Structure 1
Amino acid sequence: MAPAKKRNVSSKANAKKIKIDFEGIVERVLKSRKHANDVFDVLEFLQSEKEKDVICAVDACCKLFCTLLKRKDLFIGKLPGEDEAIKGEHSPDEKYKIFMRHRYNNCVEILLEHLHHETHEVKESALCCLMKFAAEQGLHPLEDLDWSEYFSFPRELIQAVVHNILSQSLDNSLLISRFQEFLEMDDIRYYVMSFIRDNVATVMNKSKGAVLPVYQSNVFTLMLNINMPSQETELTNFMVKQESKLELASLLRRRKIDSLFPLQDHKRAFERMWLGFLKYKLPNSMYKKILVVLHDSILPHMSKPTLMIDFLTAAYDVGGAISLLALNGLFVLIHQHNLDYPDFYKKLYNLLEPSVFHVKYRARFFHLANLFLSSSHLPVYLVAAFAKRLARLALTAPPTALLIVLPFIYNLIRRHPSCRVLIHKPSSEDELLEDPYVMEEVDPALCHALESSLWEIKVSFRTKLGPEKGATVANGRCNAGVALTEKKLK
């Protein structure tokens, strides 16, 4: 049934009186059923254009309908239409409960609309009221249930809240941060993860996979506010509690489970939620936000972290800093979750471009590259290819880049003594013309780095630092500076 029509209630002088009237209305309605129609006054103020009036009305509705839920004064089961209730063969008690159930539904509809209100205080007030309704509905369901078989949870109400929080036009990050406290409850968290997945599928399919920056930002913010438990024993905080331990034990025996929301089910829901979100194209700025928190906040809580490979591969193709962060995610999967990804070092090798010395994430790039290449079990040809490519890039890099390139190459050769052949090859007058290294080759296994030498280092020092300084570095008199830079890279 449609909500009551709006009423002009904008008098500033009566603000205090309005609050008192709300309390009086609620008291009268709860005291005697003959005042049931007074609930319309509250619902009208709930749609006021004045923020204070709306908040007062929200508080009144919250007290009124929470009390009616506790008293079981709202119709339970499939709700008849109001016209049907009047004409049908219902007792006065049933007619009252049907009437009040319709008013409750009106109230919920208006509160859900207020989650899109322009004022945060109204949105927050509406959210808190809806969650109080959800808690009472969990304890006093509005559906006929066989308590021996079912666990009551206000799915429809919570799903509607999630749907409205995930706005496609409003940035709801502030409201979502308020919603986080409810996500600390294990049953709410579990169902919200499923609702997010369903909502994303519906919205993104409707948009045919097009990027929706505001909506996807709201979804990401909500998912990031989900703090997952790490142990089964932590699953003790529920919004909807069973009335007795015997009742809960009976329910668990019938379902043949140890817990209503076992940790494995939480992880599965968490995984499906993230994978369902990440399979769609994202705004470029969001890739970075996700990749930064990936290995700490997402991968540890997934049942099968290796399923993230498709997202990480897509993120690598974005380019720039995103590619580097994607490789970091792949590196974690390879070393911590036994992912087989043979193209990893090939992708890293191809990120070594002249622009790498000019980007703002240069320090992070070389820090991570040093980490990726730290294993002493890497094949010699691979390490040689990275050393040679860096040396070649140094020819056109700014002078300050040498402070990064030299210690980086030094670390590579120190960890892989077999690569010393690159610096101990006898030189010749024609070595610059006969270098077998193929800079344009994208596969480090085919670039012939081991057949070459690191002659570029000598040339770089002489051309960028001048003959005197270049000779000084070449003779090893700057070991302290090299060691310091090397330490920073570790």
Structure 2
Amino acid sequence: MAPAKKRNVSSVKTAEKSAKKAKVDLSKTVERILESRKHANDVFDILESLQAEQEKEVISAVAACRELFCALLERKELFLGKLPGEEDALSGGYSAEDKYRIFMRHRYTSCVEILLEHLSHEQYDIKALVDNLLSKATDNSLLISRFQEFLEMEDVRYYVMSSIRDNVGKVMEKNKGAVVPVYQNNVFTLMSSISMPNQESELTNFMVKQEAKHEDWKAAKLHEHKRVFERMWLGFLKYKLPNSMYKKVLVILHDSILPYMSKPTLMIDFLTAAYEIGGAISLLALNGLFVLIHQHNLDYPDFYKKLYNLLEPSVFHVKYRARFFHLANVFLSSSHLPVYLVAAFAKRLARLALTAPPTALLLVLPFIYNLIRRHPSCRVLIHKPSAEDEPFEDPYLMDEEDPAQCRALESSLWEIKSLQKHYHPDVAKAALLINTPLSEQEDDISETLEVTTYELMEKDLKQPEIKSVPLEFETATRLLKGGGDVLGQHFCLT
């Protein structure tokens, strides 16, 4: 057995040497072609290697083709426009320069045809490409963005999705499900670059001609695309993700993932786990849950209870504040919600408003008014009969997690009355509206969703009636001494 083993090793070494020699020869061939046009026919040697039986020789030929035709393109030595036949070029009135360009353009066309044949070969495996894109050590975002144009082809997209699923399974199992940030970022970047078709009639752009395949070719079936798309995402999301990745996924979930899944309700476990993390991630997870409830008949009785418990002081300061209130407005838009629930949200927001910044208050107050407009039964919170001069103990239970038990309907929106003396005039003006009958038309909160403190200050400073800003109640008579000699009362100069 030993001699046979020796012969096998020897044959492998011989093959490697042959591959290296072929690579060197092809490089020299490219150099000769680019140095002098008298070697133009040597391009046939490269194309012949491109059709070789040995894989390494084919790879060397692919590299040589890339080097040659990219150089010819840069030198403008490839014929552009409608390509005439080679016989027409020889017999027509073309210059020697154009004949060379036409000749090379035909060789380029032959190269493309051969490469497409390799792509559709039964042994072709796109996994090698995906494995390199999904590096565990290098951020390949730019490379993936360049590859995105190929994902517009139906067959490429289908096989890439299958390869991603297999790659994630192998890598994450090898790492025992541990967080691998660079790798997971590459996977997400590639998966989020995939745009799924809406109808089977849209499956028209194939790299390999569809008629050359069997009629049951999976890459040409929309339901197969959805199936592999679903398995790809579920295979990625079942492993532990860093919080930053949770946010990235949840932001695109309702638009770019759920509509293209065969069974969107399979995402319930992921969304429930995401909600348990807390903070902005919980907020974003509720959006996906809401989609499943309203569009896919998911039974999730604790949805509004979870939304209610997200209303904390931090909600006014998180990055996704605008998105949260936009979604909350959508969630609470139904006129069929029980009055106790709407009252609980209105009261909790009013209580939080006592310590909220002006930018948030200009959003929260119209939000509360809209809730009352949609549910007239909640007007009792405004017109609660009470003696203003008597001590009042608010029955509302702020620490109660169940909106049904917080006793909001027994309380009133006295917090808004307090805001009528707010230091910011726009907030005080908005709070005064509660003293008058609310109009039937709802306030448009979209304009105030993303207002910043800087924008609020710029708006105030640009008002025409403001000519000067008072900095002191009493006019100063000399340096470091104003009216009432405040400096002398508190400091002694020695």
TM range (shorter): 0.5 to 0.7
Instruction: List per-residue Cα deviations over 1:384-438 (Å, max 9, x = no partner).
Output: 1101101111222234443222211111111011112222221246986532211
Instruction: List per-residue Cα deviations over 1:249-280 (Å, max 9, x = no partner).
Output: xx43xxxx486631111100000001111112
Q: Distance in 2 between matches of 1:294 and 1:17?
A: 51
Structure 1 residues 340 and 6: alpha-carbon distance in aligned structure 2, compared to 1, 3 A threshold: same
Q: Could you tell me which of 112, 116, 121 is aligned with 1:135?
A: 116
The residue correspondences of 1:2-17 to structure 2 (distance < 5 A) are: 3=16, 17=31
Give the CA deviation at 1:298.
1.4
Equivalent residue number for residue 173 of structure 1 = 141
Equivalent residue number for residue 42 of structure 1 = none
Residue 444 of structure 1 pairs with residue 398 of structure 2: no
Equivalent residue number for residue 87 of structure 1 = none
Instruction: List alignment gaps of at least 5 residues for structure 1.
Output: 32-59, 75-99, 112-129, 142-151
Equivalent residue number for residue 339 of structure 2 = 380
Equivalent residue number for residue 356 of structure 2 = 397
Q: Could you tell me which of 280, 284, 294 is aligned with 2:243?
A: 284
Equivalent residue number for residue 230 of structure 1 = 198
Q: Distance in 1 between matches of 2:140 and 2:36?
A: 29
Identity of aligned residues (%): 65
Answer yes or no: is the 8 Å Cα contact 2:395–2:411 preserved in 1. yes
Give the CA deviation at 1:232.
1.4
Equivalent residue number for residue 349 of structure 1 = 308
The residue correspondences of 1:257-272 to structure 2 (distance < 5 A) are: 257=216, 261-272=220-231
Give the CA deviation at 1:322.
2.6
Answer yes or no: is the 8 Å Cα contact 2:155–2:207 preserved in 1. yes
Q: Distance in 2 between matches of 1:173 and 1:223?
A: 12
Instruction: List per-residue Cα deviations over 1:94-142 (Å, max 9, x = no partner).
Output: xxxxxx455347779x99xxxxxxxxxxxxxxxxxx9987632245x4x
Q: Distance in 2 between matches of 1:194 and 1:305?
A: 19
Equivalent residue number for residue 185 of structure 2 = 217
Q: Distance in 2 between matches of 1:304 and 1:431?
A: 59
Q: Could you tell me which of 308, 329, 332 is aligned with 2:288?
A: 329
Q: Secondary structure at the match of 1:264?
A: helix
TM (normalized to structure 1)?
0.67
Q: Distance in 1 between matches of 2:211 and 2:368?
A: 67
Q: Distance in 2 between matches of 1:472 and 1:294?
A: 37
Equivalent residue number for residue 46 of structure 1 = none
Structure 1 residues 212 and 412: alpha-carbon distance in aligned structure 2, compared to 1, 3 A threshold: same
Q: Secondary structure at the match of 2:167?
A: helix
Equivalent residue number for residue 417 of structure 1 = 376
Q: Distance in 2 between matches of 1:160 and 1:264?
A: 26
Give the CA deviation at 1:334.
1.6
Q: Could you tell me which of 329, 334, 347 is aligned with 1:370?
A: 329
What number of residue pairs does the alignment pair up? 383
Answer yes or no: is the 8 Å Cα contact 1:437–1:447 preserved in 2. yes
Tell me the amino acid that sits aligned with residue 215 of structure 1. Answer: Y
Structure 1 residues 133 and 465: alpha-carbon distance in aligned structure 2, compared to 1, 3 A threshold: same
Q: Secondary structure at the match of 2:259?
A: helix
Tell me the amino acid that sits aligned with residue 302 of structure 1. Answer: M
Residue 198 of structure 1 pairs with residue 166 of structure 2: yes
Answer yes or no: is the 8 Å Cα contact 1:462–1:470 preserved in 2. no
Q: Secondary structure at the match of 1:170?
A: coil
Answer yes or no: is the 8 Å Cα contact 2:394–2:411 preserved in 1. yes
Tell me the amino acid that sits aligned with residue 202 of structure 2. Answer: E
Structure 1 residues 431 and 375: alpha-carbon distance in aligned structure 2, compared to 1, 3 A threshold: farther
Tell me the amino acid that sits aligned with residue 138 of structure 2. Answer: L
Equivalent residue number for residue 257 of structure 2 = 298
Larger radius of gyration: 2
Q: Distance in 1 between matches of 2:56 and 2:317?
A: 64
Instruction: List per-residue Cα deviations over 1:347-371 (Å, max 9, x = no partner).
Output: 1111111122233433332222111
Equivalent residue number for residue 129 of structure 2 = 161
Tell me the amino acid that sits aligned with residue 237 of structure 1. Answer: N
Q: Distance in 2 between matches of 1:6 and 1:65?
A: 13
Answer yes or no: is the 8 Å Cα contact 1:367–1:489 preserved in 2. no
Equivalent residue number for residue 57 of structure 2 = 103
Q: Distance in 2 between matches of 1:177 and 1:451?
A: 57
Structure 1 residues 102 and 423: alpha-carbon distance in aligned structure 2, compared to 1, 3 A threshold: closer
Tell me the amino acid that sits aligned with residue 137 of structure 1. Answer: H
Q: Distance in 1 between matches of 2:112 and 2:178?
A: 32
Instruction: List alignment gaps of at least 5 residues for structure 2.
Output: 1-11, 65-110, 450-494
Q: Distance in 2 between matches of 1:469 and 1:178?
A: 53
Instruction: List per-residue Cα deviations over 1:303-344 (Å, max 9, x = no partner).
Output: 111212222223323333332222122222222222222221
Give the CA deviation at 1:440.
0.8
Q: Distance in 2 between matches of 1:431 and 1:133?
A: 91
Equivalent residue number for residue 95 of structure 1 = none
Answer yes or no: is the 8 Å Cα contact 2:134–2:140 preserved in 1. yes
Q: Distance in 1 between matches of 2:352 and 2:343?
A: 14
Q: Distance in 2 between matches of 1:445 and 1:132?
A: 69
Give the CA deviation at 1:226.
1.6
Give the CA deviation at 1:300.
1.5
Tell me the amino acid that sits aligned with residue 190 of structure 1. Answer: Y
Q: Distance in 2 between matches of 1:406 and 1:231?
A: 44
Instruction: List per-residue Cα deviations over 1:61-95 (Å, max 9, x = no partner).
Output: xx4543x1xxxx42xxxxxxxxxxxxxxxxxxxxx
- RMSD between superposed Cα atoms in Å: 3.9
Q: Secondary structure at the match of 1:291?
A: helix
TM (normalized to structure 2)?
0.67
Structure 1 residues 24 and 392: alpha-carbon distance in aligned structure 2, compared to 1, 3 A threshold: farther
